[in-house]
Chains A and B, each alone.
Chain A
């Protein structure tokens, strides 16, 4: 009795080229993020200072902890800015190459559109559009396959969540037309 073997091979024709030029270095992103965090810390710190950062009769007020946390966050981020500026290593490392960025955007933009569409069309219609659209446009998969997969997946989700488990999802005009 021998083991039955199945060969599985999957290719990635649109893989990002290895020699694509870098868009930016880790250092630039690190500094930017640290500065954004400082700004966030200042905003939150101000709001907590308004709430009250003193100790009253019953221990610290509502803003006490978050205020000092924002101070710590701001401090650590500023330190991060300095370290990143001085770091040679971070300057030489690539954050993302152009080819990689293109691929990331190929997922991110549809996801963003999906979230937008969900506000108006409800979850299920938006899911159908996302899956079908993504498979067809990005994956170059045959139209009928894309549509069928998207439909089946959406239908299974609908039956599982809305019918079997009573977890109610946002719905749009299409579901309303069917009385859901």
Chain B
């Protein structure tokens, strides 16, 4: 029940006019960036981050997380009405959402999407609420070796489990780690890789890189494609909403299954994309009428949306608790936390209770307010798509520039942003994944410091990473994951040896 008391306290922190207004502003901005082509959750949050620099951390995170919810809701609008998935995880929503819209059931599909987003997030938030107090209780067990082991686990799981060509993941990650090291080394107080430049002294900021890699490069990529679209925007009437909600209990299995998949994949860095597809596929497999999927079945909207949102929300838990972002947006929120002077990690739950519980409470409130907001304003937001890209593109460029400049008030960062824009464009086209790069950039310094502090503490003895059960099991798991493809193959061939034997016997 400790969780409940803390949560109530969180609500008390939130219920001021100022926070509520910020929440609305965040949601509206979020839906806006979610609907616009060439933007989306992570970019939107990165670009709008500077708005929060002069706020206190709690207001800032409330606004940012609302931008994020808004962007998630906004993504559903374009997927269903125009068959344009704003984000990779909305792809599965278009399978049945767009056919529904074509059959004139757009309002129904949208209601289903928003409602299931709401349910997915709610389940994940409930999970966070009850797991959070447990985290703070073992927070103090984390010393440098434990931190390093967790970072190692994250890096190894990316290399071992990533679907891209292994050497490209390694390139991306080592480049990110290298760039993270530019500037002053905190452990020895020495400068490195600055080549005597005063601009490189402060290092390469993670958020500047993200704005370039995702914001600018996305515009370049968008321009390559044909930008025509056609669709109907429908206002949602109360009657439709109620009729969809009335049918909701019929689909409880689908909703529950998808929520579970989402939470699981959000906490382990599987991501919302995998979650949405898995949710969809499982719903299809267990359905009595799998043929109907893809032709406008409402479960086809429920399943992926619930899973995507559950996973997007659950990804915040490892971010807050361990400082490890489970998604792109979580990585940017992590960057934000560091700008406001909060150190993500288990200690956050001990040192900044107000902040953590304010954030958790804002997830509840933001989702409720967001649901009402999108249900009432769909046509307005859909018509944003009428604005020609020639007007939207330069505005996005300007927003990116504002974002990149204001993080450190440095003109040099504008050039860095542009450089990363080109790098992002080229990397995406030749198949070098960007996620390991951003992850390495945000965690690189912390991982290195943790390693070196462990070494100082143990007098240079590597055994410190197996010195107790907690750190030992994390380190071992990390190494297993790194060599997972090899192990998997070994098990596979062993299995093959087994099976013929059985068949023979």
Give residues in A with beta carbon < 8 Å to B: 1, 3-12, 15-16, 26, 29-30, 33-34, 37, 40-41, 44, 47-48, 51, 55, 58-63, 65-66, 69-70, 72-73, 76-77, 79-80, 83, 95-96, 100, 103-104, 106-108, 110-112, 114-115, 118-119, 123, 127, 130-131, 134-135, 138-141, 149, 153-154, 157, 160-161, 165-170
Contact = CB atoms under 8 A, between A and B. Distances in A.
A26 B398 contact: no
Given A103-B224, A149-B391, A167-B50, A6 B429 contact: no
A167 B54 contact: yes
A9 to B, nearest CB: 5
Interface in B195-246: 195, 216, 219-220, 223-237, 239-240
B415 A37 contact: no
- Could you tell me the dominant secondary structure of chain B's interface residues? helix
A115 B418 contact: yes
Contact of B51 (A6, A30, A149, A165): A165
A60 B401 CA distance: 38
Contact of B229 (A8, A48, A104, A106): A8
B397 A130 contact: yes
A104 B226 contact: no
A44 B233 CA distance: 53
Interface of B: 50-51, 53-54, 81-82, 106-107, 165, 167-168, 170-171, 174-175, 177-178, 181, 185, 187-188, 190, 192-193, 195, 216, 219-220, 223-237, 239-240, 379, 382-383, 385-386, 388-391, 393-395, 397-398, 401-402, 405-406, 409, 411, 414-415, 418, 421-422, 425-427, 429-432, 448, 451-452, 455-456, 460
A155 to B, nearest CB: 12
A70 B224 contact: no
A83 B165 contact: yes
Given A1-B239, A76-B171, A59 B391 contact: no
B190 A51 contact: yes
Nearest to B454: A59
Contacts of B234: 3-6
Given A66-B192, A100-B224, A114-B401, A131 B394 contact: yes
A70 B227 CA distance: 41
Given A4-B234, A131-B391, A161-B50, A106 B223 contact: yes
